[in-house]
Amino acid sequence: MRVAFSGRQRVFLRNIPCLVALTPTMTLGTGSTQRLTRKAGGLTMSAPAKLAHFVLRTSDIDRLASWYCRVLEAKVVHRNKFIAFATFDDEHHRVAFLDRGFDKNPDPESNGVDHIAFTYESLGDLLSTYVRLRQEEILPERTINHGMTTSMYYVDPDGNRIELQVENFKDPQQGLDFMNGPVFEENPIGVLFDADEMAELYASGVPEEQLLQQG
């Protein structure tokens, strides 16, 4: 279907940054391209490969998980005392349910979306995005290796949280196995990492497989 816009609408749309056409190799003030490349340290634009999952805060994990599993024909793949993960395909989780009481000072009105996650094709794409956003003074509130993903959490101007991530395992089953293994059982949160240091190591040629290892 073809949509026609008036002249005023076209001017409005051109002023929305994400709708402005980008050239394949935008350059920074220094003249470097916008993709984080090994050795060269340049950058190119890197969009997410997919919308991966969303996490909901709830006062009743089992009730909410049961409802979504019925609606989506999903199944719970991991459950502990404060969070449950469910999926309906080969992704290790598509939706998770977080006990709002996990917060030290839970807001009684805090049921709802905790965050939405987007997956990048590679660690290089994720780090390119991190460096590009850093140059625009948009910084993550937290960077953490969850074991099955390496993730960066951002807060938008309205206070909504998004997770930009890359899969740590090439085989989805490996991610599921990790979630149900002893390491995740002991530490389901993950290990914090320094994004600046990781970007430098990546640019210097350290293999992705090494950088994606937890800890």
Mean pLDDT score, 109-120: 85
The pLDDT confidence band at residue 94, using thresholds 50, 70 and 90, is confident
Mean pLDDT score, 147-165: 92
208 compared with 106, residue with greater pLDDT: 208
The pLDDT confidence band at residue 108, using thresholds 50, 70 and 90, is low
Q: How many domains does the chain have?
A: 1
Per-residue CA distances from 193 to 18, 59, 75 (Å): 29, 30, 31
Q: H helices within the chain, ranges in order?
A: 7-14, 61-72, 123-135, 172-179, 182-186, 195-204, 208-211
pLDDT at site 89: 82
In a domain, 26, yes or no: no
Does 121 have pLDDT greater than 60? yes
In a domain, 156, yes or no: yes
Does 79 have pLDDT greater than 80? yes
Tokens of 115: 């965050």
Does 39 have pLDDT greater than 70? no
Strands in 33-186 per DSSP E: 50-58, 75-79, 83-87, 95-99, 112-120, 142-145, 149-155, 161-167
Does 194 have pLDDT greater than 90? yes
Mean pLDDT score, 137-152: 96
Longest distance between any two alpha carbons in the chain, whole Å: 60
In a domain, 153, yes or no: yes
In a domain, 13, yes or no: no
Q: What is the DSSP letter of 33?
A: B
Tokens of 203: 């640019």
Full-model pTM: 0.70
Does 5 have pLDDT greater than 60? no
In a domain, 24, yes or no: no
**CATH number of the domain to which 196 belongs:** 3.10.180.10
* Mean pLDDT, the chain, whole residue set: 80
Q: What is the Cβ-side half-sphere exposure of residue 137, based on CA atoms within 13 angstroms?
A: 1
